[in-house]
Amino acid sequence: MSDIPTRDPGAPYAITRESLLDGRHLARARGRAHPDYPLRSDEELEASLDSMLSRHPPGTEGWVFGYGSLIWNPAFRFVERRPAVLRGYHRRFCLRLTRGRGSDEHPGLMLALDRAGMCRGVAFRIAAEELRHELLLIWRREMLFGSYQARWVEIATEAGSLRAIAFVVDRSHPRYVGSLPVSDVAERIRSGRGELGTNRAYFDETVAALSELGIRDAALERLRRLIEAGPAELSRPRRSELQ
């Protein structure tokens, strides 16, 4: 079994396995919920998970596709991880953040899987006997806010194709901002901060984790250059958008 600890120890609060297990994360999120974005109840989360598992063979192991913080801070137990490719979706900063790594005063952006293209990430294998228990921890983290949809997808690995759960953006959610100009995305990441720390730290952790796996994301690299260049570079007019 494997766990990967968070690599953002300077944050005033961090999502951990323990906080997901004992309910602290749920309580904190609900206590600080934005009035415009209602959160799911415990019953709704469990019903959603059970619906997902009703389409999975009972008593068998399962796979989860990670593309962002699940790679560097999964907070769930798994027995194997391997590089994987998901086609039909791409990694994009497209969810407005006013909690966590953003605030009303300093909003940020969160990653999601959006339509079209492809995404290189990590496939995590969860043992059959722990599948529902470990997935419930992921549900408490990824599905609480209603901005993601859990889907069964086909992913490609060196050992062959796998069926896995992926969390894709719900474009109807009010936090979805679509395709912003890349300069606007970079500025929000550079300036966003909240009780979980800075949006920039989240970005840096994701880029570092992908780099360690030998994964290069051209869109994230372009963002990194703009963020490091600072406000002067960001203020220059640009026509292109983040893809």
Q: What is the CATH number of the domain that holds 110?
A: 3.10.490.10
Nearest to 111 by CA among 42, 207, 40, 240: 207
Within-domain flag for 243: no
Number of domains in the chain: 1
Q: Catalytic: which of 134, 142, 187, 205?
A: 142
Per-residue pLDDT tens for 144-175? 999 999 999 999 999 999 999 999 999 999 99
Nearest to 60 by CA among 148, 110, 125: 125
Spatial CB neighbours of 222, under 8 Å, sequence gap ≥ 6 = 182, 242
Within-domain flag for 242: no
Establish whether 142 is a catalytic residue: yes
Tokens of 119: 């995404």
Within-domain flag for 164: yes
Within-domain flag for 10: no
Which residues are bridge partners to 87 per DSSP? 118
CA distance 114 to 151: 13
Per-residue pLDDT tens for 43-90? 999 999 999 999 999 999 999 999 999 999 999 999 999 999 999 999
Exposure on the CB side of residue 129, measured as CA atoms within 13 A: 2
* Range(s) of the domain holding residue 115: 17-234
Q: For tokens 């220059």, what's the residue?
A: 236
Within-domain flag for 239: no
Within-domain flag for 241: no
Within-domain flag for 228: yes
Nearest to 34 by CA among 93, 95, 114: 95
Q: For tokens 């703009």, what's the residue?
A: 226
Helix residue ranges, H only, 85-237 = 131-142, 182-191, 199-212, 218-229, 231-234
Within-domain flag for 2: no
Number of neighbours of residue 127 by Cβ within 10 angstroms: 16
The pLDDT confidence band at residue 1, using thresholds 50, 70 and 90, is low
